[in-house]
Amino acid sequence: MKSSLVELIMVMTLLVLFGVTIFTLMYSGADTQDRIMRDKNTQIDARIAVSYINVKLRQNDAMNKGVDNQTKIGVQPISLTGRNAIVIRERTIDYEYDTWIYEYEGKLYEMLTDPDNEPNPDNWDMGFYIVDVGAMETVFNKDDGTITNTVYYSNTNDLGNFDKISTTIRLRSY
């Protein structure tokens, strides 16, 4: 009787250890999958941001379009954040307006304003939300007429560091 009780306790202990091991492996696998999906999603968001900016610049950049002042593309610093924003000045028959593309608090926005007016700092977040980004840096090189956009996104495998996607577009209208 004693030996069967000891055997039963040993079998129960082994089953509990086996169960804990299986649960730990499943939890670890699910956590790893969640981290991989978060990394993929942040990378996808960064690619969407870069693609969106490239499309907007190419839509508004045409050979000699800037000569007749129909469209002007430039970069201006934002007083609230100190970072640069892309500003596209468009003129129609009846109206002239600026399109600002900027990053604010980790989100990419687009906002229409009157010419030469920076968006109101009280409603920076009232622009058209595009996608989440870690940060965005925009540099305009006047020497060769290029705009370089760098979008930073977090990487959970390397905590505290950001990966980046960068593109450079040479403006034909410059």
Q: Domain for residue 1, yes or no?
A: no
- Nearest to 151, CA basis, from 48, 82, 38, 50: 50
Maximum mean pLDDT: which of 9-13, 56-60, 153-157, 170-174: 9-13
Cα–Cα dist 146/105, whole Å: 26
Q: Domain for residue 121, yes or no?
A: yes
The percentage of the chain sitting over the pLDDT mark of 70, rounded to a whole number, equals 87
What is the value of pTM for the model shown?
A: 0.76
Place of tokens 């040993």: 10
Burial of 153 (0-12, 13-18, 19+ CB in 10 A): buried
Q: Domain for residue 163, yes or no?
A: yes
**What is the extent of the structural domain holding 76?**
38-170
What average pLDDT does the structure give for the chain? 83
Q: How much is the average pLDDT of 13-27? A: 94
Q: How confident is the model at residue 48 (pLDDT cuts 50, 70, 90)?
A: very high
How many domains does the chain contain in total? Answer: 1
Q: How confident is the model at residue 127 (pLDDT cuts 50, 70, 90)?
A: confident
Q: How confident is the model at residue 64 (pLDDT cuts 50, 70, 90)?
A: very low
Q: Domain for residue 27, yes or no?
A: no
Q: Which residue has the higher pLDDT, 157 or 168?
A: 168
Q: Domain for residue 147, yes or no?
A: yes
Q: Domain for residue 2, yes or no?
A: no
Q: Domain for residue 17, yes or no?
A: no
Q: How much is the average pLDDT of 102-109? A: 88
Q: Domain for residue 59, yes or no?
A: yes
